[in-house]
Amino acid sequence: MKFILPFAALVLSASPSQAQITLESVKSFAELEKVAAQLALQPYQAPTQQLDPFFEGLKYDGHRQIRFLRDKALFAEQGDAFRVEFFHPGWMFKKPVVFYNIKEPQTVGVPFDGSHFDYGDLKVPAGAKNPVGYAGFRVLAPDSLVKRPFEFMVFMGASYYRAVTTQLGYGISARGVAVNTIGGEPEEFPDFTHFWFKEPKAGEKSFKLLALLNGPSITGAYEFESTPGISTEMRIKASLHLRKPVKMLGIAPFSSMFWFGENSHPKPYDFRPEVHDSDGLQVEIKDGPSIWRPLDVSRDMRLSIFETDNLKGFGLAERDRDFNNFQDLEANYHRRPAVWVEPVSGFGKGAVTLVELSSGEETWDNIVAMWKPAHLPATPAEPLKVEYKLHWLDQHLPGALCRVISSRRGFVMDSDDHLYVVDFAKGAENGTAKPKDWTPDIDVVLSAGEGKVLDKRVMRNNETGGWRAFFKLDIPETTNLLEIMMELKDEKQVISERWMYQWRR
């Protein structure tokens, strides 16, 4: 089936003797790479559809009434296998997305079908025109995984997608690519316009799909292989082409929400002690430090850049799993997954980049983390190829190092000196077992502004079985920004994560 959408009839042929590649005939990532490369040489056309006035006017409450019928799921006939359910266009999601089933020996289209939906209490007018494509989709794992229907992955809106584990609910959002999130130019949000599903079989542990990315400045071919479980793993390949230069390109980007936490001052007038999807950025450098950066927000945007040519991984995490620290029975912020990016190839010189935006509520994602390559392709013909694993999990452990479990701050009593209190979980013993009363040394380094360390010490925390580090700072009135670094040491050997914090007036 051929879909009437921009570039739907795209045909590639290097020579008259070669077989043509159309969107309807794509069966492999290599073929999709050719489609993306050719598309980058053409003017950008945004995906659009003229929805029927009834669907065009739907608001949130109306759109959420429309439910896909479970027995109409794609691949439902495969038995105990992965299944796909689709989202109806409307409300904020009006762009059409086209779907194909790679069903050997051919690729077949998956057209929109209004009979696959329950419209609830909505009175759809007789003769209302059907949309030309779905708005997105979700994937259900085989029922045998958790002995019930289990939705573990959703793609919907631009290039956004999310995943959960068998133990943790939705939280952080990932996306295909970030364009001009910082740098002064308007941010772009390219779309996943077409998807190809590899028909699953009963007993398979992973679900495979291809996706075509298209935006004003970029095109791309993507391959996802997703395996749900206690930790849900996605193996992602991407081949990207720049139609035109961009100020900033973010690879493996994802976004989260941080309104306030244990380190926030002043706190909003809210009954909950903390409200966030994530409480820190984690970065690991090969043969270098393992970094923990507590999240925080202030009046101005906060930008943190961790440059390296030897990245081991990075991610956002919700390390606090204690319900008492959230007290939210509906949002269950203590059960939001962490996301860890494990580079496989294509991550050379660049920087893990963290953007923290001010927020006055919990509705919007205001935290963005991504990998920013130092060098970008110079022409549309030159691809940027990357491969990485995306782990959705409880938390990524920093090996044998002492792990940060809380970060608090305030003023010293009857003083304007700043007090920081950081708790560490105890790591593995290094060398000879230490005496029972042994405590590690603490190293505190200030940069980017003037400040003075007045006092620093470590004591055993019998409540956690780990260590509590204290230090006090004298920050002059003329200082508006201060970067703080702190580590625990056994003589010269670092035994903890490198705790890093950005203080702003």
The token pair that represents 187 in the structure block: 């941010």
Element (H, E) at 29: helix 29-39
What are the residues facing 66 on neighbouring strands? none
- Mean pLDDT throughout 118-133? 91
Percent of the chain having pLDDT more than 90?
82
How confident is the prediction for the chain on average, in pLDDT? Answer: 92
Q: Which of helix, strand or coil describes residue 210?
A: strand
Task: Tell me what pLDDT residue 431 has.
Answer: 57
**Cα dist from 397 to 124, 277, 383, 428, whole Å:** 51, 18, 34, 12
Q: Is pLDDT at 432 greater than 70 in this prediction?
A: no
DSSP 391-452: EEES----TTSBEEEEEEEEEPTTSS-EEEEEEEE-----SSPPPTT---EEEEEEESS--E
Element (H, E) at 31: helix 29-39
Q: Which of 33, 392, 28 is nearest to 226 (CA)?
A: 392
Question: For 213-253, how does the pLDDT look when each residue is reduced to its tens digit (9 = 90+)?
Answer: 999 999 999 999 999 999 999 999 999 999 999 999 999 99
Q: Which of helix, strand or coil describes residue 25?
A: helix
Q: Is pLDDT at 446 greater than 60 in this prediction?
A: yes
Contacts of 175 (CB under 8 A, 6+ apart): 158, 159, 160, 161, 253, 254, 255
d(C-alpha 341, C-alpha 386), whole Å: 12
3-state secondary structure 277-288: CCCEEEEEECCC
Task: Tell me what pLDDT residue 15 has.
Answer: 36
Q: Exposed, middle or buried by CB within 10 Å (0-12, 13-18, 19+), for 40?
A: buried
Q: 135 with 87: CB under 8 angstroms?
A: yes
Task: Tell me what pLDDT residue 310 has.
Answer: 95
Task: Tell me what pLDDT residue 460 has.
Answer: 93
Among 48-62, 70-84, 152-166, 229-243, the minimum mean pLDDT is found in 48-62
Question: For 348-379, how does the pLDDT look when each residue is reduced to its tens digit (9 = 90+)?
Answer: 999 999 999 998 899 899 999 999 999 999 99
- Residue corresponding to tokens 């990075």: 314
- Amino acid letter at 353? T
User: Can you give the C-alpha Rg of the chain in angstroms?
Assistant: 25
